[in-house]
Every structure is written in structure tokens, then in C-alpha cells.
Amino acid sequence: MPELLNTRVEDCFQQAEVFFKRPFKRPVVSFKLRGQKAGVAHLHENLLRFNAQLYRENSEDFLKQTVAHEVAHLIAHQLFGDRITPHGEEWQLIMRGVYELAPNRCHTYTIKRRSATRYIYRCPCPDSDFPFSAQRHALVKQGRGYLCRRCRQTLVFSGQTRVE
């Protein structure tokens, strides 16, 4: 799996080198990205991080569009420096001119959200349900208190949970 992506990264750099007639420093490539983002370019670290799950589920478009999108950020940074906007003219020039792709800012991949348990806290106010994350619930167990913004009473765990 990473071989195809690494090959595409290299192809994108070679295309840019032919187009701009100059060499570009190659980045470190990582698959340590989770969540909703398909890819991230860390400009100062010369690092590309990709979401392995979204790559597996959308490999063809991912290789074509997402890899070029992130490489274009690094190329733009190496060419024009820090004072450019992330999806500005310079980046768009590279997407259109070098890669002949639409300069889309965001992907349209389906994101599978994982379920989360919520711990229900209440106060004396009517219809007061405060769903706490597992992390916040743990903080309450350690002694942290949270107050209702309306009645200023301490929120108390109801003993109920729900999965969202």
C-alpha cells in the first residue's frame, strides 16, 4: 500500500521539477493521520502525513488528487516561502499548471465516525441533559466539578450513558 503512494509522491515531485526546471527537497511521508483530514503538509518539517483509512477506501482518487494537493503545498512553500496563503494563487497555479487538476480545497470522501459513549450529567433545571465524554467523566471522578450555566448548580452524573 505505501509503495503506490510513495511512487505517486515521487512522480508529483518529478513533474514539478520538469515544470519549474529546478530540484525540490523530498519530504518524509507518514501514514500517521486519523480523523477527517485526508492529508496534511507540514511545511517547515518537510513532512507529508496521510490518512491510511481514507487512502484504503478511496485509493484511486486519493492517489490522483489528495497526494498532488499535499505535494503542491510543499512545492509552493519551497518556491514562494512563508508569506503565501495555503490555498492561494501560488498553490492553485501548481495544481492547475503542473498537475492539471482542479484546485479543490477539500475532499469529498465519506467519513465513518466512530461511536462514542456519553455520560449523562444533570442539574435541577428542567430538561437538563449534559452528555460528557469519557475524558470529562474521568475528570469528574478525579474531583473536578462542572456547573450549570443557568442555575449555577454542580452537574451530577445520572448513572445513564448513551452511545452516539
Residue with cell 469528574: 140
Instruction: Catalogue the active-site residues.
Output: 70
Residue with cell string 471522578: 141
User: Which grid coordinates belong to 135?
Assistant: 475524558
CB of 124 within 8 A of CB of 151? yes
The whole-angstrom distance between residue 162's C-alpha and the CA centroid of its chain comes to: 27
Please answer whether residues 147 and 125 qualify as being in contact, where contact means their C-beta atoms are separated by less than 8 angstroms.
Answer: no
